[in-house]
Amino acid sequence: MRAKTDLQTRARELRLQGRTYTEITDELGCSKSSVSLWVRDLPKPPRRIEQGKRAARARWDRELAVRDTERRATKEAAGLEVGTITDRELLLLGTALYWAEGTKDKPHARRERVVFVNSDPDMIRTFLAWLNLVGVPVDRLNCYVMIHETADIPTAERFWADLLGIDTSRLGKTAIKRHDPKTIRKNTGENYRGCLTIQVRNSAELYRRIEGTWCGIVGAASEADQRNRT
């Protein structure tokens, strides 16, 4: 009787581990009918294919966790390498940032004015720091939000106004983008705040300085490239 009880206990343990009747009978050397009787009150184990999927998912989750740790470490190390930046470095950085994202003058369309549009708060903060460096105060700026009509517009306006350090009443009229049902947008959700447009009043002279500095950066980069190739 003791041996039978031990077999029953072991059969139940194996069933809880997800073993099939055949696997249990092969290991314990008893009949399938006995195993069925001993474990019939236990939940049916998931199909092996589902177990395989879960095991694969678990392995992939572990891999993703490792990659995420490595990703964060790389970013943190790169950030620490920057340290503090000088005013000259900020001047060059802000100029390159503007030339990548700002409005530019064209031979066929004269636009010697500084207009910067972006949806990334960090890009806006960096550009504001650059404006402060070159002597442009906040009260010389015209700022307004560009956003889709389906978004939370008041919340977006407050967000950008807080970033600028001004009241929402000082923002210009928000530009509403009408929804096109044919377009599948990715920039949705509670973190979507549209774009902030920053216009610098009376900025023709500043624009010329930006373009001149950019040309200087390009020339210096070309010289550095030639040095590094020799």
Confidence of residue 53 (pLDDT cuts 50, 70, 90): confident
Q: How much is the pLDDT for 135?
A: 95
**Alpha-carbon dihedral of residues 10, 13, 15, 18, nearest 10 degrees?**
-130
Is the separation of the CB atoms in 45 and 19 below 8 Å?
Answer: yes
Q: How much is the pLDDT for 212?
A: 96
The three-state secondary structure class of 90 is: helix
Inform me whether the pLDDT recorded for 20 exceeds 90.
no
CA angle 214, 218, 224 (to 5 degrees): 140
Q: How much is the pLDDT for 221?
A: 94
In tens, the pLDDT along 23-51 reads 889 888 889 899 989 998 988 876 666 66
Spatial CA neighbour of 162 closest among 132, 130, 187, 128: 128
Return the higher-pLDDT residue of 225 and 54.
225
- What are the structural domain ranges in the chain? 2-39, 87-229
Q: How much is the pLDDT for 223?
A: 92
Q: Write down the pTM of the prediction.
A: 0.69
